[in-house]
Structure 1
């Protein structure tokens, strides 16, 4: 895979990501081993630097059971972790996280991927990829209300999906599950993206006014828990001093045109909570059981 650059915060030392030839199903184990070794070296460097927390995170990622298509321990960090047997999967879900996600908070993001993987019964035909391929904005910041980080992230997500297709083949079903600001990233990357489904959960908007404006062949889904504070955010887009603030039409709006599904009464961080209506429906979308998805 093309290395993901996480060098925005160089104060945390780590080796450069490993440079690998294009990964195929036959070379996945080699890629996993190389990235685990890189995580191990990152742990040693962080430990020598005195960053015990980062060292512990990197060390956990170097464990023999972990599988990374990409790893970069520099700065806020970048990863693409696989749960399941990607070489033989015919259903693949890629999770795109929202704000405040980094190596320092990675356990929380990995937990969402693990909950989905469990909801899918750890089916050997299915794989889940936790893609932390961009520098997410802080929740309390001006960047979270603008598309700058999403525009930077979109080419990386497009390239990742292209390379993932090279591993799993054209017949595999790919689903993109996008949470919060991650839905802005998915909106920016959607045009021409070779995926079957795009699910937007807890979305502040995508920057497009309609599904047609995303220019995607994928089915587009949207959901919001009744206790999610994003529902109180004005869905507008305005130019302020040369900067566009806000992300436009609410993806749950009938005028947007998404397939709106039930998410229950959860809050902004509850879409992947075990047993939740949202997680059950997301699993159905990943499996292609779209007729079983409960509508809002």
Structure 2
């Protein structure tokens, strides 16, 4: 099978398209023919070993101290089940699925991946029926992160929420979910993305190139840092008494119930992935270079179908 591997940490040039042996599912696993993956922030961070100083050593122990333990990246995927192990009960060949490869031995930058029906870290579920599989690949990580943090923030109907980094993957989902919950949403983004964030459902948008959100004459019940580039101390100036701050820098977790709920939101037309660009697997280096610029809007897809 075609797969993209990397044998050392570094810039996008460390990624190499090659041939690997097709995996075989264990008793509790699904063999998925991958249709699409994404270039998520986690992929570029792990590829470059770009971790905060306080987390650098623990991260390298997890991902590989001297070289990558997991040579194939790709943290989220969509595809079609090709085969199942004898203990698998909730899926069968032909099912359209989406999910994550978190802490599995192989990621989704490959034509096939084996994923457990149930695991401690990775998740898989049947994909939404109302969108194509390529779009479904962009949902798991960003949407589950937004969902988890909005729950942690205890967002309520009519609450006022400010989403910092509203045009990124997590931010685009946070804006849509907060609107669905009946909150009053203010997004923070760059000039080029103002109309996009308004389209997603924000009632007000602050252009951070023209205005500092921490100095606006407005207060919020929740400040949601969707890109990890602001701080609780800065958010305090616009938080109400008892207001909550959440950030993607906080611990989050994946679970099947949330993934299924996300699928239902999509089919109910309450949530939709925003796709910035799409690249074939052969252009994985170019895709990673683009995401490294920091100008990604929403999600960047990797199409695994042969060109």
Higher share in helix: 1
Higher share in strand: 2
Higher relative contact order (Cα pairs below 8 Å, separated by 6+ residues): 2
Which TM-score applies when normalising by structure 1? 0.28
